[in-house]
Amino acid sequence: MDETAIVRIDNVSKHFGEPGAAGGNTFAAVDRVSLDVRRGEFFSLLGPSGCGKTTLLRMIAGLEMPTAGAIRINGAEVTHVPPYRRPVNMVFQQYALFPHLTVAQNVAFGLRYKGVATADYATKVDAALELVRLSGLGRRRPDQLSGGQRQRVALARALVLEPQVLLLDEPLGALDQKLRKEMQVELRGMQRKLDITFIFVTHDQEEALTMSDRLAVMNRGKVEQIGPAPDVFERPRTEFVARFMGAANFFDSQGGDGKFVVRPEKLHLRTAPPADPGWRCVEGRVEDRVYQGINTMWVVAGQRGRYTLYEQNVRPVRGGGPDVGDRVFVCWDQSHAVTIGGTEGE
């Protein structure tokens, strides 16, 4: 057993629906998932809606019970332990702040269950509010706060209890783009400073990449790939992961069976194949060309498929490069190619 694993999920499944006579109409929201989360890491569960990531998170929190499998936190089996007895706390997607309590009362809510003396509430609450940079707002009520402020209160309320693991259910979903990016950086910094394990659920791959040490990509209740962010991004193991991470260029392997994928930014347009033997090329016609500020996106139609490339606009673009309809070569360094459909690991 991995000594550094603080959360261990062992072959956990969650079925919904009524088991009927002929196997019924149950469906598996989570299907035999096993993974470890290491102490002190920022771990993300990434995937499209309905992939089971939130359900899995809720099972770790104790808000849902698995229909099969076991969950261990810090070595202790907690599979059927109610949420109020687990050493984990959750930040809810819609924050779930108590409308009838002030900010300070919200944050202090769980302290009595940790045996903290009433006299110490104020210091702890103030410390938590300072941590999330909301000092001085203790007297306000949730309906007097902005979305971003409410989110911080939810965070403070969980952190004040010093949980071993903090669970975050798409907490940044309701924020606007700019605020989101700021919070991403802030959360990351907070996690490092407090040295708490974070388990973070999101459907935004960029967000997951920005913040996580390791991440797990989920699809239809199963884990497709787990690993450090760079690995998942640059070396996807399945077609789903490749597409989800935005690497939609598939090529058939030369042996005949199997495919490999090359990320769009690793493809280049050439008027002729380069001499370097480590490079491969494919012929095609430019179908579309879109200026995107930092990059220009090219769509090239080849014989076997369509390819998307990004070329950074290093030089001023005006009139540079092939036009729509031109014949070009799409080329890449074969060492950037990743074979798909291998065995899962890590």
Question: Which residue ranges make up the site for another protein (CB under 8 A)?
Answer: 18, 61-63, 80-84, 89-90, 92, 94, 96-100, 109-110, 112-114, 142-143, 157-158, 161
Q: How far is the CB of 44 from another protein (least distance, A)?
A: 20
Q: How far is the CB of 95 from another protein (least distance, A)?
A: 8
Say how far apart CA 46 and CA 215 lie, in whole Å. 7
CA distances from 34 to 66, 187, 221, 309, 338 (A): 13, 26, 11, 36, 25
For another protein, the closer of residues 98 and 176 by Cβ is: 98
Q: How far is the CB of 83 from another protein (least distance, A)?
A: 4
For another protein, the closer of residues 27 and 98 by Cβ is: 98
Tallying the residues shown for the chain, one arrives at 346
For another protein, the closer of residues 172 and 328 by Cβ is: 172
For another protein, the closer of residues 134 and 282 by Cβ is: 134
For another protein, the closer of residues 63 and 281 by Cβ is: 63
Q: How far is the CB of 318 from another protein (least distance, A)?
A: 44
Q: How far is the CB of 222 from another protein (least distance, A)?
A: 22
Instruction: Report the relative pairing of strands 214-219 and 42-46 from DSSP bridges.
Output: parallel
HSE-CB at 179 with a 13 A cutoff on CA atoms is 13
What are the structure tokens assigned to 267, written together? 């493809």
Strand (E) or helix (H) holding 210: helix 205-211
Say how far apart CA 242 and CA 235 lie, in whole Å. 8
For another protein, the closer of residues 110 and 274 by Cβ is: 110
Find, among 156, 111, 162, 101, the residue nearest to 134 by Cα: 156
Find, among 275, 246, 242, 273, the residue nearest to 342 by Cα: 242
- Token look-up 């000594």 returns 3
Say how far apart CA 138 and CA 153 lie, in whole Å. 9
Q: How far is the CB of 49 from another protein (least distance, A)?
A: 13
